[in-house]
Structure 1
Amino acid sequence: MGIVLNQSLKNTIITYIGFGIGGINTIFFFPIILGDTYYGLTNYILSGANLMMPLFAIGMQNTLVKFFSQCTSEEEENRFLSFTVLVPLVLCIPLIIMGLVFFDDIAALIPKKNELAISYLWLIPFTGFCMAYFEIFYAWARVHMHSIFGNFVKEVGLRVFALIALVAVYFNFLTVIQFIYVTSGIYFFAFLVTMFYAFRIKKPHFQFSLPANLKEVLIYSFYIILSGSVANLLLDGDKIILGQFMEFKNIAYYSVATYIALVISVPSRAMHQIVYPITAKLMHENKQEKLNDLYKKTSINLQIVGGFVMLGIFVNINKVYEMMPPVYAGGITVVFMIGLSKYFDLILGNNNAIIFNSKYYRMVLFLGLMLVFLTITLNLVFIPMFGIIGSAFATLLSITLYSLAKLLFVVKRMHLYPFTRQTLYSMGLTLVLFLLFYFWEFPFIPVIAIGLKSILLTVAYVYINYKFVISIEINEVIDSVFKKLNIKL
């Protein structure tokens, strides 16, 4: 358990560092150095690759994690590792051949306003392949209890190399066209580094044989392909649809806004690493009362932490956009819409963990497929009417309905409920502080104005939450910190 907690803490820190570097790239460097068209094209390629990644990996990164522990001998381990690495490679070949045969038909789907993308279409499957095998070899390392290096490569390494490439473009060592190829090369490099790291941990002895539990493995992999495709469609599908209706520069505006809003969901990653195994244990032991209590605690704690991050973004968003080219300002509304959808998802606490660890786990996939259909349909309706704001509204509406469906499912089928009076108090506090701080601007340069407003907001938010005891657990954390600092409230 010490290893798990130690690596979870380090991975959480790495994730925050990665998001910080990514934020700097997204807000300051990409828009200014690449320009909106080539930034949008870069996002289009990476989004397409991310959509193809589950098909290339065929779920083996999750299958490896789930079934590796069932191997009872080193020979079985070698056989299973070989299976998870070689089978995707065999299945990728027909997909690549089909892509080459039907390349002209695929290229014809690109609208004339974005014909620039045709020259780079081959980078989408190439990058998707690199992403898939990175995940597989990262899973290879994780099953041997080495998760930090791969997470560092994924969260920090990719963004640092992107930053270096952007600086190279700024100083004319690279052109913007070369940058696009270099970006795909970075993912290829990440895949190779992770592969050799995995081989260093466990020397490969490849065998061309099938595991004994082949049927179970294939069924699970099928569900992972579907669930992974659902997740990636929700994350990047809107950008691909935008590329069908609007010029690539609009994808750039949208990508900046969505990245800023996604920061709201970061706190849930740290908590879920701890909550998932606890939820599974309580459900296995059939401790309904304790599970319901945990559900409420995760809900209110994520609501408070996520609400604070959301407030910090919302009240400073105008100053943030002052530091970017003026053409990006249309994304402010997108930030609010995507941010609210992430906030609503946060307040459901460990809802996903409860469903995934129950006998109803297939329901998440069913609801996810419904969400994908709804999201694509709404994007097709609203993008032609309202552009990037229409896409954001489609995301807000579909994710809200999806979250509501999951909530009602858990309440009705499992008789668990996440909300209390503290939920309403927290929402009320968040709304009041937003109204107080949003319309009040410091007449300073953006960085100083953001810093000052954030300090005042932090003091007000923490103090009021503490005094009204919105969360007992958060109050206990504050008490312990103040006790160490010899501070009394």
Structure 2
Amino acid sequence: MGIVIKQSFKNTLFIYLGFAVGGINTLVLYTRFLEDEYYGLVTFLLATSNILMPLIALGIHHTIVKFFSSYFTKIDKDKFLSSVLFLPLLIAIPIGFFGDLFYEQISNHLSVKNPIIKEYTFVIYLVAFACAYFEVFYAWAKVNFQTVFGNILKELYNRVAVMILLFAVYFQWITKSEFIYYLTGAYFIRMLLMMFYAFRLYLPKFTFQRPDNFKEVLSFSFYIILAGSAGAIILDIDKFMIPGKESLETAAYYTVAVFIGSFIEAPSRAMLNILQPLTSKTLNEKNHLEVASLYKKSSINLLIISGFFFVLINANINELFRLLPVQYAGGALVVFMISLLKLYNGFLGNNGAIINNSKYYKITLPYSLIMAISVYFLNKLFYYELDMGTDGLALATLIVIFSANTSKIFFVKRKFSMTPFTDKSFIMVLVIAVLYLLFNFWDFPIHNINVFNFPIDPIINIILKSAIIAVIYLFLIIKLNISTEISGLFKRFISNNL
């Protein structure tokens, strides 16, 4: 776990720095510098591009991670990379052609409830294309076990770009419309930066020769593109469906709640960046003991870190919403459901990487299709028919992903005879539950402290309660010796500073 801990630590720092910048953007700048309608428009365009992106990428970013470590000579690696690099264009060019041909019909369909969408429909394709090739080159870096720079571009770059552009809107250097165009350009700059970095790490000698297992590569890409497209639908269909019933402003309000609830997934994303190629490598080497070790260690460590932020966020949610404009309040239940889902995802460790990079990868397609269909119909039921509002969208996502992830635990247990659980797992779940229940129902009674008409008393209350939670949480983790890695890091830190 040495390389995992080292790069995961760096990645976590940059992810949380990105979340901090994103938090300022989402909770302060977007809600004050950009009209709610335009914020909702940006949310819709990016969510829709995320749905389209896996189709354009053709699953190549997953294909690179799975197969690169199975080639042992530079010639074979060059054949492989040369073969897959341009495959996304086989999808991207026809989509672009037909999108342009039927642009009027597509834009009219998407803008029935919100006419402002029509003018910006083309942005969906451009952002999807830029994100697809970014992921391809990011995977290129991952298989060379260099994830930090790509992680900075993925988690921090866009949010800093958004912050700069939002201030440009505030100072009237650009218009709200130009904000969307400049943001689109920022995605292309990010793609090019990732491309140059990937080529710097490993520049293949491009050839028209194909690897011997090219049919297997294409087969894997086909399955993963369908599974990835279905997976993208699961994650972003709710934001896509909101403008079909309500105003774009509602999408903005929902996005804020989802962002807050998603804050706890940063450790998972950081660790999985390096765990994915490591898992693929150990599976290709048929080292199942190491796979099982990674499975358990990633699960307990992610549970500890994700659980900490789960308690922090939900225990402070009422104070946090006091910092937002009043129309954004009322999303506490969405935050709880999304954060609970992210906590469970962390609990699974590298479960998804084990399935995706094994010979059983084809099972991801029926899983993803069933999940996509289920979340769509549950959204229709909860949001449209039962009129549960955005709480219903979050509930649908929670039910579907929780059920699917639970079944994946049993699948890996049956095929690999391994689980993510240790003797400390359920103790850790109990610690998280007790601390959540203990701190969720009271706040420090500090009120009416303002600086330049901005209330800072919620910030004071959040800091005070978070400090108490952090001390108790860390004490319990070390005292109960939940994780040997975290206990070791803590003891090393103490010895170096005493």
User: Fold-level match, TM-score > 0.5?
Assistant: yes
Answering whether residue 452 of structure 2 is matched by residue 450 of structure 1, we say no
Whole-angstrom distance in 1 between the partners of 2:209 and 2:283: 38
Give the distance between the partners of 1:424 and 1:97, measured in 2 at CA.
53
Tell me the equivalent position of 1:478.
490
Aligned to 2:241: 241
Cα shift at 1:125:
0.6
Q: Per-residue CA shift, 1:296-328, capped at 9, x if unaligned?
A: 444333222211110010011111111111111
Q: Which residue identity lines up with residue 268 of structure 2 in the other structure? A: S
- Aligned-residue offset at 1:136: 2.8
Moved more, 159-168 or 357-366: 357-366
Aligned AA (2:125): P
1:303-322, aligned counterparts within 5 Å? 303-322=303-322
In 2: Cα distance, 1:85 partner to 1:280 partner:
21
What is the distance in 2 between the residues matched to 1:407 and 1:156? 32
**How far apart, CA to CA, are the structure 2 residues paired with 1:425 and 1:83?**
48
Where does residue 110 of structure 1 map in the other structure?
Answer: 110
Give the direction of change, closer, same or farther, for the CA distance of 1:480–1:374 in structure 2 (3 Å limit): same
Which 10-residue stretch deviates more, 473-482 or 125-134? 473-482
* More deviation, 415-424/454-463: 415-424
1:327 aligns with 327
Q: For structure 2, list consecutive stretches of 5 or more residues without a partner in the other structure.
A: 448-456
- How big is the alpha-carbon RMSD for the aligned residues of Structure 1 and Structure 2? 3.0
Aligned to 1:281: 282
Aligned to 1:466: 478
Aligned-residue offset at 1:85:
3.7
Residue 130 (structure 1) shift = 1.4
**What SS is found at the alignment partner of 2:86?**
helix
Residues 57/273 of structure 1: CA separation in 2 closer, same or farther (3 Å cut): closer
Residue 16 of structure 1 deviates from its aligned partner by 2.8
Instruction: Name the residue aligned to 2:430.
Output: 428
1:183 counterpart residue number: 183
Give the drift of 1:205: 6.7
Aligned residue number for residue 452 of structure 2: none
User: Residue type matched to 1:264 in 2?
Assistant: I
In structure 2, the residue matched to 1:27 is 27
Shift of 1:416: 3.0
Deviation at 1:176, TM superposition (A): 1.4
- 1:195-274 to 2 correspondence within 5 Å? 195-198=195-198, 212-273=212-273
- Deviations 1:160-183, CA, capped at 9 Å, x for gaps: 111100110111111212111111
Counterpart of 1:416 in structure 2 is 418
CA drift of 1:391 comes to 0.3
Letter in 2 for 1:447: I
Q: What displacement does 1:141 show? A: 4.8
Paired position in structure 2 for 1:54: 54
Q: In the alignment, residue 48 of structure 1 is paired with which amino acid?
A: T
Distance verdict in 2 for CA 1:138–1:477, change over 3 Å: closer
Asked if residue 378 in structure 1 is aligned to residue 390 in structure 2, the reply is no
Residue 203 (structure 1) shift: 6.4
Moved more, 411-420 or 148-157: 411-420
Q: Which residue of 2 aligns with 1:391?
A: 393
CA distance in 2, matches of 1:304, 1:447: 25
Unaligned runs of 5+ in 1: none
Aligned residues of 2:316 and 2:440 also touching (Cα < 8 A): yes
TM-score, normalised relative to structure 1 = 0.88
Q: 1:470 to 1:59 in 2, by over 3 A?
A: closer
Partners of 1:285 and 1:209 in 2: how far apart? 28
In structure 2, distance between residues paired with 1:95 and 1:361: 27
- After superposition, the C-alpha distances for 1:244-278 in whole angstroms (9 at most, x for unaligned) are 22211111111111111112122223443565536
Question: 2:465 is matched by which residue type in structure 1?
Answer: K
Query: CA–CA distance in 2 between the matches of 1:356 and 1:137?
Result: 19
Counterpart code for 1:457: I
CA distance 1:420–1:189, shift in 2 (3 Å): closer
Instruction: Tell me what 2:157 maps to.
Output: 157
Name whichever of 238-247 and 473-482 sits farther off: 473-482
The answer to whether residue 205 in structure 2 is matched with residue 193 in structure 1 is no
- Counterpart in the other structure of 1:123: 123
Q: Indicate how the Cα distance of structure 1 residues 8 and 293 shifts in structure 2: closer, same or farther if over 3 A, else same.
A: closer
Give the secondary-structure state (helix, strand or coil) at the position aligned to 1:134.
helix
Q: TM-score, normalised by structure 2?
A: 0.87
1:441 aligns to what SS in structure 2? Answer: coil
2-structure distance, mates of 1:294, 1:406:
16
Q: Are the counterparts in 1 of residues 279 and 353 from structure 2 also a CA contact under 8 Å? A: no
- Summarize the Cα distance change of 1:148–1:465 in structure 2 as closer, same or farther, 3 Å threshold: closer
Distance across 2 between alignment mates of 1:446 and 1:239: 29
Deviation at 1:46, TM superposition (A): 0.8
User: Aligned equivalents of 1:137 and 1:273: distance in 2?
Assistant: 13
- Give me the identity figure in percent: 42
Change (3 A) 1:441 1:362: same
SS of residue paired to 1:330: coil
State the one-letter code of the partner of 2:220. Y
The CA distance in 2 between the partners of 1:116 and 1:355, in whole Å, is 42
Alpha-carbon shift at residue 424 of structure 1 (Å): 3.5
Call closer, same or farther: CA 1:387–1:428 in 2, change over 3 Å. same
Structure 1: distance between partners of 2:427 and 2:199: 52
**Counterpart contact for 1:52–1:125, Cα < 8 Å:** yes
Judged with a 3 Å threshold, the aligned counterparts in structure 2 of structure 1 residues 440 and 363 are, in CA distance, closer, same or farther, namely same
| 1:3–1:332 distance in 2 versus 1, CA, 3 Å | closer
Greater CA deviation, 83-92 or 372-381?
A: 83-92
Does structure 2 conserve the Cα–Cα contact (< 8 Å) formed by 1:280 and 1:354?
Answer: no
Cα distance in 2 between the residues matched to 1:479 and 1:261: 31
* Alignment deviations for residues 349-408 of structure 1 (CA, whole Å, 9 cap, x no partner): 333244345443322332222111111111121112112111001011111111221122
**Compared with structure 1, are the counterparts of its residues 192 and 429 closer, same or farther at alpha carbon in structure 2 (3 Å cutoff)?**
closer
Separation in structure 1 between the aligned mates of residue 2 and residue 356 of structure 2, nearest angstrom: 25
Say whether the 8 Å CA contact 1:279–1:291 is kept in structure 2: no
Aligned twin of 2:409: 407
User: Matches of 1:2 and 1:346 in 2, distance apart?
Assistant: 19
Distance 1:402 1:353 in 2: 15
